[in-house]
Structure 1
Amino acid sequence: MCNSIYKKEVVRVRHHFQQQHQNHVLLDGLKSKWWIWDSIVKDVSISMEYIHAYLERTQKFECGLGEFGQYCPVCLALHQHLLDCSETAALTHAAVFKGYYYKMCGQSHLERFLSSPDQYVAPGCPRSLPQAPLLPSRLTEIQVKNRFPQQAELKGFCPVTYLDGKQRYEALVRGRMEYAVDYRERIFFCETKQKQDKFMRTPEAYWDQKLPSKVPPLDEPVPITALPLQGYLEQSVAVPLIKAMTAAGCLRPKYPFLSVQRSALLYVALYLKAFNHKSTDYTRQKYKKKVALLEEDCALIPYLSSVMREKFRPPGELPIDFQFKLNKFLALGELPGASDLL
């Protein structure tokens, strides 16, 4: 059991420490404890040397973020993309140059930066980072609601889907609040996470669009209580009621001393209570037992009619349970009514 849990969790644990701290080291557990101890001391010493060297460099250069902040300077220079690297806490793809460090989006861009850093930082960089008000930022649903009564631009349609769809009517797709973006103090809703990332990279291409005079209507949900009676019943109880009536039609219940109509209504009522998914487990189990009891009582009439023929049969020729079921049938006639079952 412990071994299976270890195999299941060790991959994620290894990935976490390697991604966040770069300090995951594999050791041979078949070696002696002294060998393992020496290996641990050696690896920890190397790691501490790296940390001390890094702290010395940062203190010497007073290292801080460069003029590009958390944005990749290589993406900005080559593709004019604003690729925010702040979501990656690790400095795996970071480089220090002239007392400042710069974060790159990947290994290939890190190698480009290290080969010729002067091409990607001021004054040799072809493009500079826009001012803070011109940088896009992601918004949470709470932040969007706190900015009420400000409304989303493009009436909530996704700007990326609309432009990529060549601004056709079919490309007018509603965005979602969970993928909201703030740009130039305006709110934009994107359709998916991928569309949101695309807007964040090149906001200038998507923010200034005009909607056509005719747009799709709002998909506002209709409250179920606002429907007419037939529609309300159809949307609320149609499916469970059909199942209950189908079960009653298959069983054709006839409760002793009750009419066929009243027997069917009683069975449908118990069936709806027994299979109501909004009830508690205790309530459902309680009424399922009552449904089973009702089915058992309804079976008394066909049973007794098949045993009690016109000709007299001696008690010895009758089934063993005949007297018990006959007494139960007669006892049901003395009950006040079917309300005891509900």
Structure 2
Amino acid sequence: MDYTQERVATLHDYGDAHPDAPTERATVVVPMTEREYGGLAPESVLSTLETLDVGRVVVPLRASAEKAGAFAEWLASFDLPLDVLWCNGPRVADLLDEHDLNGDAGKGRDIWLALGVAADADFLAVHDADTKTYSPRDVPKLLHPLNSGFDFVKGYYARVENQRLYGRLFRLCYEPLVDALDARNDEPILDYLGAFRYALAGECAMTGEVARSIRVPRTWGLEVGTLGEAYDAAGFDGTAQADLGRYEHDHRAVSGPSGLSDMSAGVVAALLRACEEHGVDVDYDTLPERYRETARRYVRGYAADAAFNGLDYDAADERAQVETYADAVRPPDGDDRLPAWADTALSPDAVREAAAADLDAVDS
């Protein structure tokens, strides 16, 4: 436990923090895919939200036509002011086509659609549904700073379970890559990106104005891309991070479809794109090796931390992951970000109506 501050305001939980928060003025966005249907973790998350006085809950749902109707019925069984936004129905796809916004579908696109629908609220909180340690204090912790003059809030937490350190993509990819870039550049964006204690957390909150102003990557670069946008929308003075304690999530394999290797490509691309846009001179010829050297130092530090706490730690495996992530350290390809809602002619009401009609057609 510590009480130090970072370049952004850092709000600590010293034991039982449960701050007052404007939950009744907030919309909570909880993205789900069909794999969450009836699961214990999402059921716990939704049951906990039932105990909070939230203004609205929006679930952007990515599911097949065969599963969407039953999923929506299950969600309706919770005593919540809940809207289901089926993100991959045919009418939604046609609507996006009309505005040249269709394309790759992923968590980022789902959340972008939900931000448009939910941005009429004063405040928004966004969090995942696979959290096994979800607490009724989490949403108030994320929202409280917004009622105190901040515009964007990031959650952070410890990824320690089963006697092991997790959060590997953050520890072994993001963190050392930002460090390697910062060693040769003094652009403020790197101070901002390096200030977050868990930059890849899916938990964040923002004002409705910020939600309307940010561009959102479609897939794996979501969390990092959002930070790059928050730097412009909120800056150092308008940003806070809140201690959400200790979180247990589902874990991914390093290789294979949707594994950490695939995710690292999106994370690195979003990070480097944000850096390039904010004046960082990225030397791509030397960056992969500088990243490797920095990451090996991080491995030594995490090995010492694990030993200090009596945790299991496989340093060789972590070094092998560094080599895997190093393959992603290259110039980013084309920009896949969706535009800020303030800059598009697409109507959030039209999205809401199309998604509802798609669900009605499945149910009928």
Q: TM-score, normalised by structure 2?
A: 0.19
Flag the structure with more relative contact order, 1 or 2, with Cα contacts below 8 A and sequence separation at least 6: 2
- Greater percentage in helix: 1
Q: TM-score, normalised by structure 1?
A: 0.20
- Greater percentage in strand: 2
